Amino acid sequence: MTGGRPGARAELMLSLGVLALGAFAAVIAFGLPDAAGYARVGPNFMPKFVAGGLVVCGLWLLAEVFTGGWREAVPENPEERSDHAPYPRAFGWVSAGLFSQMALIHSAGFVLAAGALFACVARGFGSTRPLRDVAGGLFLGLGVFAFFVKFLNVNLPAGWLQPLLGAAGI
Amino acid sequence: MTETLQSLLGGFGVALEPMNLLWGFVGVTLGTAIGVLPGVGPALTVAMLLPLTVKLEPTGALIMFAGIYYGAMYGGSTTTILLNTPGESASIATALEGNKMAKRGRAGPALATSAIGSFVAGTIAVFLLTMLAPMVVEVALKFGPTEYFALMVFAFVTVAAVLGSSMVRGLSMLFVGLLLGLVGIDDQTGQMRFAFGVPELMDGIDVVVLAVGLFAVGEGLYVATYQSRQAEQLERMSGSLWMSKEDWRRSWPAWLRATAIGFPFGTIPAGGAEIPTFLSYALEKKLSKYPEEFGHGAIEGVAGPEAANNAASAGVLVPLLTLGIPTSATAAILLAAFQNYGIQPGPLLFQSQSALVWGLIASMYIGNVLLLVLNLPLIGLWVKVLMIPRPVLYGGILVFATLGAYSLHQSVVDLVTLYVFGLLGFTMRRRGFPLAPAVIGLILGPLAESQFRRALAISQGDPSVFFTHPISAGLLTLTALLLLIPWLVRVVRE
């Protein structure tokens, strides 16, 4: 069995994940109509094939978990991969940056969302100068905004800064 | 032969038009910059810039994308030599000797041999591409859907199963990519597949979202979690940029040998530049009169892999342009750039879009010269780029990455999908799943499906066509052998 091998649980979960994805794809693939025509192969053939492939890969991965673990697995010890010990807070900051951008982009606008994203990511990478990061992010966002709107005619949401950006002619 | 030269001359006419020259310059400069920046590769950069295809005319845009592609190979060596952090996997072999040379105060000659070697190999490889492409086109014109399908299956299996450390993990990622490629409307019947009524999914999953998610968000999350608290040591630019007579004598045979290894490897679906760089390194180590220097900064160990890297990346363009088959993640995204313009690379491209394709090839001769100038006299500038603090660098990367995905449909749904792919990329990197098969599966999957169904429509649903056409039968047999041999070897051994 998997024993207490480090990483075994992650491998088990991922193997089951691939298997589940295959099963899920299969359920949908078998619900698709045939509509085969001359080729005698319709829009449901490839989905069934891919679902089958995922199920086989999932089972194969699962078999490896129970026979000594994934072959050629990435070392569990971070030092062996020239990494340091995981720093979950950094992961959290980068994610928070992306979430705040999703939340802000349509209300506060692209520039402010870019400022928030930039500052959070920089914080995640160990920056200790939040003011510089917010300013840097706003500056970058403003530059990108002006370039897209002025030169590429791609609309980005101006949001709360609408009056300000409008007054600046952007 | 004369016909080829005539086409090439016409191509130079296109590439030397001021606007195209400008796009080429923008491309190689950007390419060098992103090659230098750790954490940004050519696949990611081209993906982030793909939305621009809506605004630019095709020739200029494709010249720029190609410039980014091979410019990144030049820039990557700078980072590798001075920082010992290979910017891309194809630079790992260079890191073995290049960083050691920099530590011994010979950064100058190391940078010079890699820039000049890249130029020599790049130019020879583009020349080989010029000569070889029309010949492949000749053959490919005879291909029907059956042959194309077999060729795509072969490419899928080599990229996913044969390369990389684990066959099953490569295949898993390939199937994930193929599944993502199925999302949206089926072109042949109009059937909606895997869209769950979400309007953003009905057009299919854009390669920009997948590539940026895996390579920028996933990479950002990974580096933040596992590498952001590491101190990095940037070697000083030391030693004259000039190579001594001795350096030249030891470098040039390595450049030529590496070109001979790199180019053919690039043309077959063997995952681009990674394998030939290691082969070249091993060969140079074997042939060198100074084997004791290897591991302590032998110049051949920099000259060879760097030249192989560049020759292979030009080789990758042979199957991409003549057959429409991408064999690396970057090539897959370049294919998507063509598709955005409604252009399908393949043998017909050389007839229907002759000015574009020859302009593109000619631009690479010019680009290599520009890159030599950018990377030798201006090297000091790129060293400054390396000094950008990591927090600022990754903040910027993620602003641009999310911008690329958001500007597709101005939709928050794309940002959510991007984060989901980021989580996938993080997990895949941590657990050793290769990312390229997913990108190639997404781009090439729908093409393979339509060739498959077309082949069967012609044969009235008789699947034996794949085994009665000799080319397709040969390719499928080869594919089956590639899948079975490792397993057979194991069974026989036990």
Q: Which of B56, B84, B172 to mutate to test the interface with A (most CBs of A within 10 A)?
A: B172
Euclidean distance between CA atoms B76 and B156, whole angstroms: 27
How crowded is the C-beta side of B81, counted as CA atoms within 13 Å?
37
Residue B422 has pLDDT above 60, yes or no: yes
What the block records as the tokens of B419 is 């984060």
pLDDT in tens, B326-353: 988 899 999 999 999 999 999 999 989 9
Query: Chain A residues with CB inside 8 Å of B168's CB?
Result: 57, 60-61, 64, 71
d(CA B60, nearest CA chain A) in Å: 15
In the three-class reduction of DSSP (H, G, I as helix; E, B as strand; rest coil), residue B184 is classed as strand
CB contact under 8 A, A137 and B399: yes
Q: Which amino acid is at B75?
A: G
**What DSSP string runs through A65-127?**
HTTTSSTTPPPSSGGGGT--S--HHHHHHHHHHHHHHHHHTTTT-HHHHHHHHHHHHHHHTT-
For residues A23 and B85, which has the higher predicted lDDT (pLDDT)?
Answer: A23
Alpha carbons B223 and B227: distance in angstroms, whole number: 5
> Average of pLDDT values for B310-338?
92
Interchain contact, A38 vs B461, CB within 8 Å: yes
φ and ψ at residue B234, rounded to 5 degrees: -90, 120
pLDDT digits (tens, 9 = 90+) for B86-107: 656 677 778 888 888 988 888 8
Closest approach of B443 to chain A, Cα-based (Å): 15
B114, amino acid identity:
S
d(CA B216, CA B149): 32
Residue B185: its H or E element: strand B184-185
Q: Which amino acid is it at B217? A: V
The neighbour count for residue A15, using CB atoms within 10 Å, is: 23
Residue B17 contacts A where some CB pair is shorter than 8 Å: no
Both structure tokens of A114 = 């870019």
The token pair that represents B283 in the structure block: 């060969």
Which of B168, B217, B391 is opposite residue A133, by nearest beta carbon?
A: B391
CB under 8 Å to B270, separation ≥6 — which residues?
B158, B162, B163, B327
pLDDT digits (tens, 9 = 90+) for B167-194: 999 999 999 999 999 999 998 888 999 9
pLDDT of residue A166: 80
Minimum distance, in Å, between the CA of residue A155 and any CA atom of chain B = 8
Asked if B464 reaches chain A (Cβ–Cβ under 8 Å), the answer is no
Q: Residue B349: CB partners within 8 Å, gap ≥ 6? A: B321, B324, B343, B356, B357
The owner of tokens 């959510």 is B416
Question: Residues near B187 by Cβ (< 8 Å), separated by ≥ 6?
Answer: B446, B450
State the best of B52, B222, B226, B418 to mutate against chain A, taking most chain A CBs within 10 Å.
B226
CA–centroid distance for B374 within its chain: 21
**Whole-number pLDDT of residue A3:** 57
Q: Are B318 and B133 in contact (CB under 8 A)?
A: yes
- Tell me the shortest Cα–Cα distance from A98 to chain B, in angstroms: 7
- pLDDT, residue B420, reads 97
Q: Report the Cα B226 to chain-centroid distance in Å.
A: 26
Q: What is the C-alpha R_g of chain A?
A: 24
pLDDT for residue B238:
65
Residues 6+ apart with CB under 8 A from B243: B109, B112, B113, B116, B251
pLDDT over 70 percentage in chain B: 98
Query: Does B399 contact A at CB distance below 8 Å?
Result: yes
B282-310 mean pLDDT: 90
> What are the φ and ψ backbone dihedral angles of B342, each rounded to 5 degrees?
70, 20
Compute the distance between CA of residue B331 and CA of residue B325 in angstroms, rounded to an integer: 8
Q: What is the mean pLDDT of chain B?
A: 90
The pLDDT value recorded for residue B86 is: 61
Residue ranges of the alpha helices (H) in A3-69? 8-31, 45-65
- Is the predicted pLDDT of residue B26 greater than 90, yes or no? yes
Structural tokens at position B186 = 């089926």
Question: Mean pLDDT, to the nearest integer, of A101-113?
Answer: 95
CB A62 within 8 A of CB A16: yes
Q: Is B427 in CB contact (< 8 Å) with chain A? A: yes
When pLDDT is averaged across residues B368-376 and rounded to a whole number, the result is 92
The number of domains in chain B is 1
pLDDT of A153 reads: 80
CA distances from A86 to A89, B55, B422 (A): 9, 42, 17
State which of A77-81, A153-157, B279-283 shows the largest mean pLDDT.
B279-283
Distance from CA of A131 to the nearest CA of B (A): 12
Q: Is B149 on the interface with A (CB under 8 A)?
A: no
Nearest to B182 by CA among A103, A113, A48: A48
pLDDT value at position B154? 92
Q: Which residue of B has its CA nearest to A35?
A: B189
The whole-number pLDDT of residue B60 equals: 94
Please report the sign of the dihedral spanned by the C-alpha atoms of residue B192, residue B196, residue B202, residue B206.
negative
- Interface contact A95-B179, CB threshold 8 A: no
Cβ-defined contact of A50 to B412 (cutoff 8 Å): no
Q: What distance in Å separates residue A76's CA from the closest CA in chain B? A: 9
Classify B192 as helix, strand or coil: strand
Q: Does B168 touch chain A (CB under 8 A)?
A: yes
Amino acid identity, position B408 = L
Statement: residue A120 has pLDDT above 90:
yes
- From CA A5, how far away is CA A68, in angstroms rounded? 9
Prediction pTM value: 0.92
Average pLDDT over residues B435-447: 94
Pair B202, B464: CB distance under 8 Å: no
Q: What does the alpha-carbon distance between residue B24 and residue B370 come to, in Å, rounded to a whole number?
A: 9
Average pLDDT over residues A42-69: 94
The three-state secondary structure class of B193 is strand
**Is the separation of the CB atoms in B126 and B8 below 8 Å?**
no
> From the list A43, A136, A154, which residue is nearest B189 (CB)?
A43
Predicted pLDDT of residue A68: 86
Across the interface, of A11, A54, A78, the residue whose CB is closest to B226 is A78
What distance in Å separates the CA atoms of residue B281 and residue B468, rounded to the nearest whole number? Answer: 42
Both tokens of A67, joined, read 């026979």
DSSP assigned state of B337: H
DSSP string, B251-312: HHHHHHHHHHHHHHHHHTTS-TTHHHHHHHHHHHHHH-S-GGGTTS--THHHHHHHHHHHHH
Q: Which runs of consecutive H residues, i.e. helices, occur in B410-469?
A: 412-431, 436-458, 465-468
**Rounded-to-integer distance, Cα B91 and Cα B76, Å:** 7
Cβ atoms of B136 and B4 closer than 8 Å: no
- The parent domain of residue B162 ranges over 2-493
Q: Which of A95, A122, A148 sits opposite B392 (nearest CB)?
A: A122
Q: Average of pLDDT values for A101-118?
A: 96
Distance from CA of B209 to the nearest CA of A (A): 14
Interatomic CA distance for residues B44 and B473, integer angstroms: 36
